[in-house]
């Protein structure tokens, strides 16, 4: 897939993160619980070096619960601090704050030993675009302090937010990595909304999504769109069937593929096709 996913502002964001990393005690790496492996930026470990890190699997309301549990186990076995989280309802938030405190403890104790009391824990939130960094900050703060939206690239500058007496958080712009070698990772990032829809082939992504749904989530697909079995093997034919069911027709009865593509993508992203875990620990991919 040909994607220009590394625009100038992202390179700038990356420089800013590297420059500011020494200001913080803990990194929260926000991953998308639907695609923990694919949403993990391989550049992050280079950028943060030995800083204590907590992995937070956000959007866990949209992922399959059992698979999220497997991911938690997977990361714990690697000795990582990890929580499952959902920035919309706030489920998992206490756990996250606890883990941040655990990660920061050595730093805070060292400060106390030097006589510095009540120093807040400084935390940098890192993650790919649209993963929910700003939503997490708003949820911790308890109010809509920073801007969020259902598209990537919303946060551009950095911003410190004070949470109570104990925490100071730095919101950062989402960063992807300059070279996406794997078409599979690119698909997962695109379909979950991490990459701006203007810079990839949306039709190709939705046709891949339809193949995945047909092969692995047949019933959800037939129920959602009222399709009769057997459904077409060919994804373009399948798209046409959905268009007909949805009445996506232009003048003269011509199928409006663009509109149908938007409907399927939006249904997937809004959870109308159910919960999805597209990355499974230590298992080959579905696509």
Ligand X SMILES: Nc1nc2c(ncn2[C@@H]2O[C@H](COP(=O)(O)OP(=O)(O)OP(=O)(O)O)[C@@H](O)[C@H]2O)c(=O)[nH]1
Which residues lie near ligand X (CB under 6 A)?
A: 58-59, 61-62, 86-88, 127, 129-135, 148-150, 152-155, 173-174
Rounded alpha-carbon distances, angstroms, from residue 47 to 58, 81, 126, 194:
21, 18, 11, 20
**DSSP string over 181-221:** --HHHHHHHHHHT-S-GGGS-HHHHHHHHHHHHHHH-HHHH
In the complex, what is the shortest distance from the CB of residue 188 to Mg ion, in angstroms, rounded to a whole number? 20
Q: With CA atoms as reference, report the closest residue to 212 among 191, 182, 240.
A: 191
In the complex, what is the shortest distance from the CB of residue 233 to ligand X, in angstroms, rounded to a whole number? 32
Q: Which residue do the tokens 């875990």 mark?
A: 277
- Please give the distance of CA 88 from its chain centroid, rounded to a whole number: 13
Q: Which of 154, 199, 280, 286 binds Mg ion (CB under 5 A)?
A: 154
In the complex, what is the shortest distance from the CB of residue 110 to ligand X, in angstroms, rounded to a whole number? 31
Rounded alpha-carbon distances, angstroms, from residue 189 to 86, 93, 176, 201:
18, 25, 10, 13
Task: Find the binding residues for Mg ion in span 235-254 (CB under 5 A).
Answer: none
In the complex, what is the shortest distance from the CB of residue 3 to ligand X, in angstroms, rounded to a whole number? 16
Q: Are 54 and 96 in contact (CB under 8 A)?
A: yes
In the complex, what is the shortest distance from the CB of residue 155 to Mg ion, in angstroms, rounded to a whole number? 3
Residue 277 sits in the site that holds Mg ion (CB under 5 A): no
Q: Are 81 and 55 in contact (CB under 8 A)?
A: yes
Q: What, of ligand X, Mg ion, none, does residue 36 touch, CB below 5 to 8 Å by kind?
A: none
Shorter beta-carbon distance to ligand X: residue 61 or 168: 61
Q: Are 17 and 172 in contact (CB under 8 A)?
A: yes
Task: Find the binding residues for Mg ion in span 97-136 (CB under 5 A).
Answer: 133-134
**Residues in the chain, total:** 287
Q: Which of 155, 192, 208, 257 binds Mg ion (CB under 5 A)?
A: 155
Shorter beta-carbon distance to ligand X: residue 52 or 129: 129
Q: What, of Mg ion, ligand X, none, does residue 41 touch, CB below 5 to 8 Å by kind?
A: none
In the complex, what is the shortest distance from the CB of residue 255 to ligand X, in angstroms, rounded to a whole number? 30
Q: What, of Mg ion, ligand X, none, does residue 192 touch, CB below 5 to 8 Å by kind?
A: none
Shorter beta-carbon distance to ligand X: residue 135 or 277: 135
| Residues 6 or more apart in contact with residue 12 via CB below 8 angstroms | none
| Helix, coil or strand: residue 24 | coil
Shorter beta-carbon distance to Mg ion: residue 133 or 139: 133
**Which residues contact Mg ion (rule: CB under 5 A)?**
133-134, 154-155
């Amino acid at each position: 897939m040909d994607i220009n996913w590394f625009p100038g502002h992202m390179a700038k964001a990356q420089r800013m993160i590297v420059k500011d990393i020494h200001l913080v005690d803990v990194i929260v790496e926000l991953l998308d619980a639907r695609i923990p492996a694919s949403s993990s930026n391989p550049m992050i470990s280079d950028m943060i070096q030995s800083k204590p890190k907590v992995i937070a699997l956000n959007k866990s309301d949209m992922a399959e619960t059992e698979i999220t549990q497997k991911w938690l186990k997977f990361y714990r076995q690697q000795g990582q601090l990890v929580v499952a989280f959902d920035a919309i309802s706030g489920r998992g938030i206490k756990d996250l704050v606890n883990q941040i405190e655990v990660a920061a403890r050595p730093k805070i104790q060292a400060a106390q030993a030097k006589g510095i009391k009540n120093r807040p824990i400084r935390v940098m939130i890192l993650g790919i675009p649209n993963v929910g960094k700003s939503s997490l900050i708003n949820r911790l703060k308890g109010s809509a302090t920073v801007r969020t939206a259902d598209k990537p690239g919303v946060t551009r500058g950095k911003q410190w937010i004070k949470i109570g007496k104990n925490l100071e958080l730095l919101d950062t712009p989402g960063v992807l990595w300059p070279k996406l070698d794997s078409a599979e990772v690119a698909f997962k990032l695109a379909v979950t909304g991490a990459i701006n829809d203007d810079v990839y082939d949306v039709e190709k992504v939705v046709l891949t999504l339809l193949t995945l749904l047909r092969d692995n989530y047949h019933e959800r697909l037939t129920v959602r769109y009222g399709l009769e079995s057997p459904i077409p093997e060919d994804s373009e034919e399948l798209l046409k069937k959905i268009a007909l069911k949805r009445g996506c027709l232009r003048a003269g009865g011509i199928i409006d593929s663009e509109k149908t593509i938007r409907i399927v993508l939006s249904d997937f992203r809004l959870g109308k096709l159910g919960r999805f875990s597209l990355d499974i620990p230590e298992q080959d991919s579905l696509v």
